[in-house]
Amino acid sequence: MHDFDRLVGQIYDAAVEPGRWPQVLELLSDFLDGAATKLTFQNARTLRSEASSVRMPPEADRTYAQYYYKTNVFLPRIAKLCAGTLIPVWNLLPREAYQRSEFYNDFCRPGDMCHPIGVVLANEPDVRVVFTCGRAKTAGEFEPEHLDRLRRIGPHLVRAASVRLRLSRSEIARNANAEALNRVAQGVLIVAANGDILFANRAAEALLAEADGIRTEKSALRASRPADAAQFQRLIAAAAERSDAAGGVMALARPAPRRPLSVLVAPLIIESTWFVTGRPAAIVFVADPDSAPRTAQDQLRNLYRLTPAEAAVAMAIARGEGLQAVADELEISLTTARSHLQHVFEKTETRRQAQLVRLIAASGPYVRQ
């Protein structure tokens, strides 16, 4: 009983730490008096499959993913079974048909999988997972005792697979969200009530590295200028605690000639769940008016078919610069700047600079490529 409980514990440890599965498969081989064991994963839509195995030839997982999954005579039948179904394989396929197959002769025999038993761990719309334990031809069939052992351990394998799949999907979603935020040209930070930085996208990390307007102090987000510090911390605390005055906007001053950073602080709702305590959090958006990412100009060009010069004029106007300043910055005449701006108005179907600025602001957020 002690060994069985230890095995069950190891299975659930592997559910949250996938690197433990090879060790668990080894233990399962011993528990079932088998030779090789493997986990087979099949994409339920494309039917492409791969395996992770122990006690099989070193190239087995690679060759299975490249070719032998196509020859696996059991997979079409397993696709009809629900999670938790025990697989005495001769219930699925006559022994003679299996032993005549390419899958048996070229893959299973060299891998000591001649006599397999298994259990369906998952059969979902997007993925199927099967656990299989095999014996060499010379070892003979599994006994009823081994099927009883598999029947005892099977539900724990099914539950562990379910937990692993849910965690994997959560990790994929979290990574996708982080990548999306990393592509935003604005700085985006998620912070706790005391200012501790829980997440910062790449744009925010670049601003923090400059320590000009915002900075870090012992892993906490702070305003660079003491005059702004108290108000900035109050905004964050109020947003994180979701008080009546939750969040707000402010400018964080920087030494001339750089203009202040524009900051928006808002609540970020994180629910508390069993065993996971939700930390009060705020989301902070930081825009640098002196930064005009090249990608923003490229996006304007793609959206409105602007020339490079027209896009540069449009971005300068959006930053609040006057037309003469735009001409000086781009080293063109005022007449040429006016001509570019008129073309921008025509292509964007705007008539005044204020309309153009609103249109550009509504066309974001600009992303990094």
- Write down the pLDDT at residue 272: 53
The rounded distance, in Å, linking the Cα atoms of 295 and 189 is 21
Beta-bridge mates of residue 130: 40, 120
Q: List the domains of the chain with CATH numbers.
A: 2-176 (3.30.450.80), 183-287 (3.30.450.20), 294-362 (1.10.10.10)
The answer to whether residues 25 and 18 touch, using CB atoms and an 8 Å cutoff, is no
At residue 316, φ and ψ (nearest 5 deg) are: -65, -40
Task: Please tell me the distance from the alpha carbon of residue 200 to that of residue 60, in angstroms, as a whole number.
Answer: 42
Paired tokens of 188 = 């985006």
Residue-level pLDDT at 279 = 62
What the block records as the tokens of 203 is 């744009």
Q: Cα separation of 311 and 295, whole Å? A: 11
Q: Could you tell me the pTM of the whole model?
A: 0.61
Structural contact between residues 129 and 47, judged by C-beta atoms closer than 8 angstroms: no
pLDDT tens, residue order, the chain (369 aa)? 568 999 999 999 999 999 999 999 999 999 999 999 999 999 988 889 999 999 999 999 999 999 999 999 998 888 889 999 998 777 788 889 999 999 999 999 998 899 999 999 999 988 999 999 999 989 999 999 999 999 999 999 999 999 999 888 877 777 777 777 787 778 899 998 889 998 899 989 999 999 999 999 988 999 999 999 999 999 998 888 775 557 788 999 998 888 899 898 988 866 555 554 556 688 999 988 777 555 567 778 888 899 989 988 888 887 778 888 888 888 999 999 999 999 999 999 998 888 887 787 666 544 444
Sign of CA dihedral 188, 192, 195, 196: negative
